[in-house]
Structure formats: C-alpha cells, structure tokens
Amino acid sequence: MSQQLPRLHTVLYKSCGQLSKLYFKRYLFEQLSCMTAEQHSYYNRVQFYFLCKNKQKKNMQLASVQVQIMSTICPEKIIVDLLLLTSDSNYAEGEVDENEWRDDVQLHKEEKTVLRYYVFEGMRYIWMPRKGAFCRVSILSEGWTYADLHRFQQGMSQAEQSSRFIFGDNIIDVPVKSYPQLLFEEVLNPFYMFQVFSIILWMSERYYYYAVCILIISFLSIAVSLYEIRKQSTTLRRMAQLIVNVTVRRATGEEECVSSVDLVPGDCVVIPSEGLLLPCDAALLAGECMVNESMLTGESVPVMKTPLPFSGGAYTPESQRRHTLFCGTHIIQKCAVIRSFLWLPFTMCMHFWFFTAKGDLVSSILYPQPLNFRFYKDAMKFLLFLGVLALIGTIYSVVMLYKSNTPWAELVIRSLDIVTIVVPPALPAAITTGTIYAQNRLKKKGVFCISPPRINISGKISLFCFDKTGTLTEEGLDVWGVKVVNGSGFDELVPDPRLLPDGPMLSGLASCHSVALLEGQPIGDPLELKMIESTGWVWATFGTHRILAVMRPLAAEFQPEGIPVAIVRRFPFSSTLQRMSVVTVGPGGGSACCFLKGSPEMVASYCVKESVPSQFTNTLREFASEGFRVLALAYRELDAQTDLSSLEREDIETEMRFLGLLVMKNQVKPESPGVISTLRQAQIRPVMVTGDNILTALNVAHACRMVLPHEQVFFVHASPPTVNSMASLRFHQGEGGTGTGLYQNSLKYHLAINGKSFAVLCDHFPEYLPKILMRGTVYARMSPDQKTQLVKALQNLNYRVGMCGDGANDCGALRAADVGVSLSEAEASVASPFTSKTDNISCVPLLIREGRCSLVTSFSLFKYMALYSLIQFSSVVILYTVKTNLADLQFLFCDLFLVTLLAIVMGRGGPSDELHPQRPPASLLSVPLLCALLIHTLLLIVTQVSVLLITISQEWYIPLNSTRTGPQNLPNMEDTGVFDVSGFQYILMSIIVTKGYPYKKPLYYNGAILKEHLGKMLQSKFKYIQGNKGF
C-alpha cells in the first residue's frame, strides 16, 4: 500500500441503539453509495461513528468503525474488506446474538485484523467469514466475465497490485528437504521401524553377523533412498520453478519490468517479440500467439491462440482453452494486431502456483491420487494374516521354551524372534521388483511412465478406448477433391483445388486456417497444411501491425481482382464448437468477407437454407461411408463500413452462404489393424471415441478390424423432448434405417452413437446407458468433456479402462482412465501417466504385456516371500521342539545369500510375446491362491518333520547334547537335517511360484535365475557333504 492512499473520509455518526447485522450492513452500504467516484479513488478508508449500548454502564456511548475500501474492479463496485474498531476498552458489541454480528463486524476490545489461512498440497485456503469455511484463495476472483478481463488492458496501479498480497508469491516452490529431515521421516516408516526392532532383537541374541549385514543393507538402502528422493525433488523443483522477468503495464500507461514472482491476478503482461516461457496461466486479450504445449497436452504440433472476445459469460480456462495461455508452455511466436497482453486468470497465479496447469502436473507427481487396486489392499490384509500366524508361533514358542526351563529373558527374546521370521521385513520392497524391471524395459522401448503403480493396473485392462485421427489413422490427410455448390446442387468432384476457378471457394480454402509461419516454415494442424498446399497459395506477409497474414497464389502474370487475401480476424477451431472462422479483406482494405469451416452438419446449420443443396445429406453420407474426412465451407460478405476489429464470433457466423465440401482421405496406420486384432483375441474390447462423423468413424472401425465384416452395426438415435413430443430412443440398422427395439445380448452386434444422442441418453434414458455402453464400439462427434464422461461411465460398470490419444483433445479422458497413453514426443506429460514416443498404437499391447508380467511377478514374489517366512518359521519351531535353533551364519546364508538374491533375479523375467485371453488375477486372497499356499505350507512342514524323524531313526545318529552350548554341542544332526532340506525348499519354491506362460516368458529365458538356482543347489549340496561344519 503506497503512502498517499491511507486518507480518511469521516461520516457523521448516527444513533443505532443495539447493533444488529442487517441494520448495520444496510447503513454501511447506504453511506458508501453516497460517495462519489472521485471519493472512491481518493479515499482508502471510511470512518463511521455510531452509538451503541455500554454493557457496564447501561447507557449509550460513542463508538467508531473504519471500513477499508477496495475499488479495484471498477469505480462502481466497492468491497468492504476490513472492519477495525477504534473505540474505548469499555465499548462492546451490544446485547445481540453472536450469529448476528460475527460475519460483518466484531466490536471487541483491541481487535486486530487477522488473515487466517492454511496451505494444503501447495494450495492456499483462506477463511471466509460469510461462508463460515476455508475456501481456495481462487474464490476471491470467481465470476469474472470477458468484459471484466478486458478492463485490465489498461493495467493496475502498484497500490492495487499490492492490495492483492493475499494471493502470495507467483512461484511453484517444490520443497527440497534436508538430509536430516529425510532421514527422520524415512526411519519413521513402519518398514524401517520394524527393521530397527529386528536388529536390536538380533543383537540381544548375539546374532551379530546377520544383524550387522541387515544394518549395513538398511543403511545403504536408506542412503540410496535419501539420495534419490532429494535428487528427484531437486530435479522437480528445477522443472517447476520458473522465474523470469516480464514487462507489466501500469495504469499510468508506463511499462515496468518486474519479476514473475511478483505477478498477481489482474496484471497486464506484454509478450515480447522473441516469445516467452510463460510463468502463469493467462487469458490472451489482444493479438495472436503460437504456443508449444507439448509438456502439458503431449501435442507436438504448436497451437494457435487467439484473443478473448469482448462479450461473453464467466471466463474459465478449461472452457476457453483457445484463448488461454498455460503456465510452462512456450510462446514461440506472436503476431499482434495492436499488442499482445495477458490477464492472469483467477484460478491461477496463486501461492506455490499449484492452481496453474503446470502446477497440476507438479501436484500430480508430488501428491498422486490413491490407487483403487485390489492387489495392494490384499497385500496389507495378508500381512495382518502373517502377523496373526506370528502371534500363534510366539505363543507356541513360549510354551515350548517354558517347558525347557529357559530363563525368562531368553524366553522373551527367542519368542519375539518368531515375529521377525514370520513377517519378513523385505516383503514390501520385494513385490516392487517386477514393477521396476517393467518400467526400465518400457523406457528402453520409448514408453515413459510417471506413475509406476499403474503398470500393474495395466495388466488388468479389459477395455481400451482409442481416438481416431492421429491415433488409429495417420495425422496427415490427403486432399481427395472438392465438391462446389452450383445452384441447388453440387458440381462434379474436382480432384485438384488448383483447378477451381477464382472465387470464394478457392479463397476460403487458402485463408480459413490457423497456420502460422515460424522462421519461414508453416506450422499448424496437418489437415490445414494439406489444405493450403492443395490450393497452391503461399504467404505473402505474416504478422504485421494490423494484418495476421496475407495469402496469394504463386507469382503469375495476371492476378484476378480480389487477390491476394488478407486475414484480419481469426476465431480458431474448437472441438466443442466444431468450427472455425476468419475475416478477410481484399487489396486496399475492401471487399471484407467471413469464411466458415468445420463439420458439414455444423456449417450447414449456420447457413441460409436456400444455399444448402438438397442432396447435401446423401452426398455427405456417401463420402463418410467410404471413410473420407469431409469438411464444409461457407462465406458471407460483410458491410464495408463495419468495424472489423470489434466484431464478435456471434456477429459474423450467421446467415452464411454454403460454398461446398472439402473431401480428404485419412489413411489407417498400418499398425492399427494388427493391434486391434491382438486386443480382440485377448478379450480386451476396443472402442473408438472420436470427434469425427459417425459414418467416417464406422468406416475406420471396419478398416482397423474393430468391427468385422460379418458383424452387424446398429445406430443409436436419442432425441431430446420438445414442446409436442417426449424424448425418444431408437435403434437403426444402418444410418437412416428402420427403427427397432433394443437387441438382446445373445446377438453379435455393435452399437454406434454420436455426441448429441449420448448427451440425451445420459439425461433422459440413464436406465439404458449401461446396456448401450456394454455394446457400444463407435462413439462419434464426442466433445472432450463427453470423452471424459464416457470413460467414467465405463469404469462404473467395473471395466478397467485404458485410453490412447494424441493428448490434444483427450486430456480429460486420458487422466480419468485407469491407464492413459499419450502419443507424444515429450517424455512426460500432464495428460496421462504413460507417454509413448512411437506415433502408433503398437505401444498398447506392449504396455499390457508388461503390466501382466509385472503383476504376475509381484504375485510370485509375494507368495515366495510368504513361503520363505513360513519355511523358516517351521524350521525354527521344529528345532525349538528339540531344544535347538539355527545358527547365525545359517540365518545369514538363507536370508541374504539365498532368498534375497533369488528374489532379485526372479523379477528379471520378461513378458510373453503374446496376449492371452485370460487376464491374471488381481486378488491375493482368492480361494485357489490361498489353497495352493496352504498345501505348499503343509508339504513343506511335513517334509521338514519327515527329514528330522528319518535322521533320528538312522544308526549313525548322534543325539543332541542339550547340556552344552556352542561348538561343544556338536554334532547337531537335527539342525543339519532341517537346515539342508530347508535350503532346497527355498530354491524349489522360487521355481514353483515363478509363473511363466501365458504372461511371462518361460523360466529358461531368465538366464540369471538359472545360474542362481544352479549355484545355490551346488552350494547347498557341498555344505551337506561337508557335514555342515561351518555351522
């Protein structure tokens, strides 16, 4: 707050008796409304005097309240922000209920202004008295309209900026903890706490070798873990923390260079000509920008951003992505009509910056959402079961040791030792081994993962959704021809647009686009690049003072009238609107026209009916059924007196004249049919979700074998209610066919539905939605929000849903899916947990195979660690029965050199080369698995007991001398027999529980585990032959 603003405006007092909420509030606003605009801009505070009742003296006395005025929105709006009492210590609030006054004014003795807030996961929450709750700080600026934002082009004063201190610094400050802090938090982990308990216990038993080894291993593990955590935090902080100098326009008209840390919502930032790495989320108010958003969306093609319209409703970044520049994206080029300005929108530029799109990415890494996966829940339940088993073993040990007259101290220690045996400390680390190997294999093949636990989830995928353009089909399209309107019909297809006569159709093809020039090279949507290339027109000028671009044909001796064409306004394509438009002028600024391009149905709805040919529907159906991508163009001449700079989209996109159709061929990628067939054979249902025409999508579904030739397709048509009719739902075999009822599940068929019918279905026929979703294969004309809605609806039907797309319009669906795969050149994207650098869907079966391999490996390692603990548990309990126990080196050999190394090499097995129809189980508590575990355990115990009995029955058996300990208590044949057979059991169990076909390659492909098995068996045999002298 600057020094010139704290000026006080005094208002005459008014007697009010007992103070009430409604009266006082009405009185304040009556007085504030009487102030003039000059007073609003001059005064910072208003002093109100009034009379209220003194509780002690029971009489009326004078009190005063100061009201802070904030008029940063506009001079007509005043926000009563802070209420300060400046009365005597005896003055009180009067005899009123607390609920009446606490939200508006508090007349306490020596009251101070206190801002109450807290920060959770990087986001600031402030106390809102009128709501009676803590709310995100972004709520302070909700409800801004387009017009409100455009007022900020004039800039804010420093005083207005400083009044917004409540938003905090504009920086994502990822905490990087010191090593002592990390060590303290790591040691408090239950896993390490249990290890500390075990080491202390083993030390007390003089198991020094094993205790020291575990201590060293734990120390190295903690050291590596701390190093990796700090390294990742440092890397993430470097990626997240963006501090640049930006130019901010002030209310005085001057421009000031400030740090991006000091930006607040409402600042007007000037984009430099060399571009900018954007430090905040912002709304573009003037000019155009070409932005690289690959880090956020995975889309490698730069996106053209256009200025926010002057008229419109409430602004939100998600609904106005084409007018919003997101934090962390790179503005690689700007072309300004006047100058390019940004407004920092209310949902962004907050403390820690986690309200921005980039902050969302960082937040998803720092605070990942908990995974609802049964495997991890069952693992915790099984650990509880082992804990119960340890309790039983402890009770048995206490009884046996008590009968042996064991001293109480030793009895307690040796009984607790059972707990460390039954519940292996290395179990949590062991089950993640398969995931680590799978992540490394995926990375080598160009698939990057930012959420490793989802690798296991990918092994349970039962349905996979695919975007069409750029995912199943090639990104680029080839122009097949142009159908131009001639009177009430279409002319013959013109295969080469260069052969078109000079006129609106040719000018529209050359100018209705969002392509820009970057260092002399055109960049933009591949479809538009192909369209411009087919016309033979080139850029004469790009990004001048008032002209966005000038398009003209290649140099020729004669240039027809009206050529070249200058683009002066552009309203970009939106998936929701399904259209784009431009405003052009001819040479000298005359003959202004508006061109409209988009989906044929949408363009036709904005045209004069007389201009749309009567065979429009049949022609469109013919092209779409053959798999062509069809766009329509329309135009409208504008009045020469029209102020083109003030035109809005709604003003020009009306009463258009239909020009014709642009027909393009979108080839299916050669990998798509094979991948779809593989998924279908593996009983994984493929689904297409696209924004294209339903017939075009169906043609592609046939081409990529999503729908086979002998399978029927029914179209779902849902109509909303009207004044004269109710909502209807019909099913047609073929577009425009005869309506039928809902078919039974016994028939083999597919359903196809468009976005409009899907919306009506969700709103008016929710009872039919599950049935249609279970048969739906083609979802066409779907908006980005509808794609997300579809994924969530499928998940509600207990499908494990995967989603593969290019990341541009599929961000919501990719993030909502259980497994989202973005096809992008970026290594990490906020769009999805998986990013593939390959430009086709061949990564999908690879990911599923790796997921199944990882999941099965986790199962195998879990069962192996459980059986290992049960083997050692039974060995110790049996030896306790005969009043002996395993030696330190025996424990060390089994735990470290045998089990640990076997567990490491077990996880190295790679995935199978094929996808099997049967999916791996996800539950550790299934009846077959528990029965198998029980049978294995009983066989292991019987084997050890049998070996002990056989050993005792031999003629050469020498009984244990239980009166002596240490080396004098040799030979210990009971120990030797049980130990040797348990060693072979460890090795055999690692082979038995290692599941191969059909999810992993056979065991003989894993060379490391074969060498380990052979070495350990030879080592165990050698120790047996040597009479176990080392133990």
Structure tokens, 752: 């196809």
Q: Tokens 């541009």 identify what position?
A: 808
Q: What are phi and psi of 706, to 5 degrees?
A: -75, -35
Distance from C-alpha of 135 to C-alpha of 166, rounded to nearest angstrom = 13
Q: What is the C-alpha to C-alpha distance for residues 532 and 509, in angstroms, rounded to an integer?
A: 7
Sheet holding 282-284, edge to edge: 255-259, 245-249, 268-270, 341-343, 282-284, 324-325
Kindly write down the DSSP assignment for every residue of 728-789, as one continuous string: EEEEESSTT--EE-PPPTTS-EEEEEEHHHHHHHHHH-TTTHHHHHHHEEEEES--HHHHHH
How would DSSP label each residue in 544-574? -SS-SEEEEESP-S---TT-SEEEEEEEEEE
Contact at 8 Å (CB) between 451 and 837?
Answer: no
Contact assessment for residue 15 and residue 51, using Cβ atoms and an 8 Å cutoff: yes
What is the pairing mode between strands 447-449 and 834-836?
antiparallel
Phi and psi torsions of 340, nearest 5°: -100, 125
Q: Assess contact for 414 and 885: CB atoms under 8 A.
A: yes
- Could you tell me if 247 and 297 are in contact, meaning their C-beta atoms sit under 8 angstroms apart? no
* Locus of tokens 């109450």: 116
d(CA 695, CA 855): 39
Cα 243–chain centre separation: 25
Token pair recorded at residue 662: 């642009």
> How large is the angle between the packed helices 784-796 and 755-764, nearest 10 degrees?
50
Run of H or E residues at 686:
strand 685-689
For residue 625, give the amino acid letter: S
Phi, psi of 48 (to 5 degrees): -110, 130
Taking the C-alpha atoms of residue 216 and residue 195, their distance in angstroms, rounded to an integer, is 12
Helix, strand, coil % in the chain, rounded to nearest 5: 40, 20, 35
- Smallest Cα–Cα separation from 114: which of 126, 97, 101, 104? 126
Q: How many other C-beta atoms are found inside a 10 Å radius of the C-beta of residue 762? A: 15
539 CB-near residues (< 8 Å, 6+ apart)? 517, 522, 549, 550, 551
Q: Which residues pair with 335 in a beta bridge?
A: 288
Catalytic residue IDs: 467
φ/ψ (deg, to 5) at 447: -115, 115
**Residue 315 token pair:** 């602004």
Count of other CB atoms within 10 angstroms of residue 589:
13
Instruction: Say if strands 282-284 and 324-325 run parallel, antiparallel, or are unpaired.
Output: antiparallel
Q: How far is CA 69 from the centre of its chain?
A: 41
- Largest Cα separation within the chain, whole Å, is 118
Residue 713 structure tokens = 């397709």
DSSP letters spanning 41-56: HH-SEEEEEEEEE-TT
Three-state DSSP at 75 gives: coil
Which residues, including other chains, have CB under 8 Å from residue 108's CB and lie 6 or more apart?
Answer: 85, 93
Measure the CA–CA gap between 320 and 706, rounded to whole angstroms: 34
Q: Copy the structure tokens of residue 200.
A: 């202390």
Please, are residues 248 and 271 in contact by the beta-carbon 8 Å criterion? no
Residue 590's contacts (CB-CB under 8 Å, 6 or more residues apart) are 640
